[in-house]
Structure formats: structure tokens, C-alpha cells
Amino acid sequence: MAGSRRHAGQADSAAAILGRALEAAPQEPQLMMALALAYRDMGERGKSVEMLESVYKLRPDDGRIAGNLGAVYVEMRRGEQAEAHLRLALKTDPERRLKWLANLSQALKLQGKQEEAVDTATEALRLAPTDRRLQELFRTIQQEGGEWTVH
């Protein structure tokens, strides 16, 4: 129920439901990650990172957790931290490879690694050449100062 609310744009309601659920199961990784993503959707990146870092400590080899933490770090313009987590996500969560590549290209650009950022965006575009969001990402990554985040 909370997940459907989060996807329907009711992140604050989802966060309240998830927060109550976490009171009953405080170390439940799925609930923690869902709450972290609800916080991110509400624009509460600090709370999101705090929760994702906590769940990451419980499950350091979970690529989905690492990737989402990396994506929030990109939004916070913390390129080096984002890169480390997104590279782990690429190794451990191949199912979401396209998403992690798109975010990694941004993390690299944030660090001034322009050529590597373009190469990474190109790899993502090769996986989904007709995806308009990726096409826009590629154009933005090629420009100086461009910024775009994939969730």
C-alpha cells in the first residue's frame, strides 16, 4: 500500500505508513529502503541518505540499495560517493544496469571526468537506443554544466 502511494505521488502519506511499519520492525531492510525512497520523493534527501546508509550497513552487497544510495548522492552533487556506490550496484544488480549506468554518467560528470561520463552515457544509450530520457541524458552529459538524474 505504501509503495503504491509513493508511486502515485503521495510520498508523504507513504512515509507515514512506512514509519509506523518500521516501529514494529525497525531493522527490516525492505521497509527502510522504501521509506528512504519516499523521503527522496518528498525532497528530503538528507533523511533519504541517512536511511539508505543505515540499510546499506545491514546489506552492503545489495546492489539495489547501493544504487539508490548512489542516485541520491548524485542528486546531492556528491560525485565521488555516488560513483563508488553506483559501481557496486553495476556489479551486484545487473537487472538495473541501465539505471545505474545513467546515474554513474552523472556522478562522473560531477567529478569532471567528462570523457568517462560520455562513454558511460553511450553505454547506457546502446542498451536502450530509443529511450528519449537516455537520449536527453546523452546530450546533457556532452554539454558543459549539464545535469540530469535517472531514478
Give the tens place of pLDDT for each residue, 81-118: 999 999 999 999 999 999 999 999 999 999 999 999 99
Region 46-71: mean pLDDT is 95
Cα distance between residue 34 and residue 52, in whole Å: 9
15 pLDDT exceeds 80?
no
pLDDT of residue 3: 41
Note whether 124 and 137 are within 8 A (CB): yes
